[in-house]
Amino acid sequence: MAHHKSARKRIRRNGAKAQVNTARRSRVRGYLKKVELAISAGDPEAARDALKTAQPEIMRGVTKGILHRNTASRRISRLNARIKAMS
């Protein structure tokens, strides 16, 4: 257990930040799941729409430090390629 006042404060702040980051990561995963479900359903139009709504959320995750920018770009690129392959 922390003994210094600043260390106690840091523990509190880390806990609060972890909750925010968990919520953000979950939100991004939810949007990715919607795209995956649309692709697996075989509906290119729904998949395109889902990707269009997911892309800003994924990039917001990059600016908030949830994902690395190259990881986000790679995921978007691969989803886009899979959607293009459907049509």
Q: What is the pLDDT of residues 9-41, one digit of tens each?
A: 999 999 999 999 999 999 999 999 999 999 999
Q: 1 falls in which pLDDT band (50, 70, 90)?
A: confident
Q: 87 falls in which pLDDT band (50, 70, 90)?
A: confident
CB 87 within 8 A of CB 73: no
CB atoms within 10 A of CB 86: 13
CB 82 within 8 A of CB 49: no
Q: Which domains does the chain have, with CATH numbers?
A: 5-86 (1.20.58.110)
What pLDDT sits at residue 23? 97
Average pLDDT over the chain, rounded to whole? 95
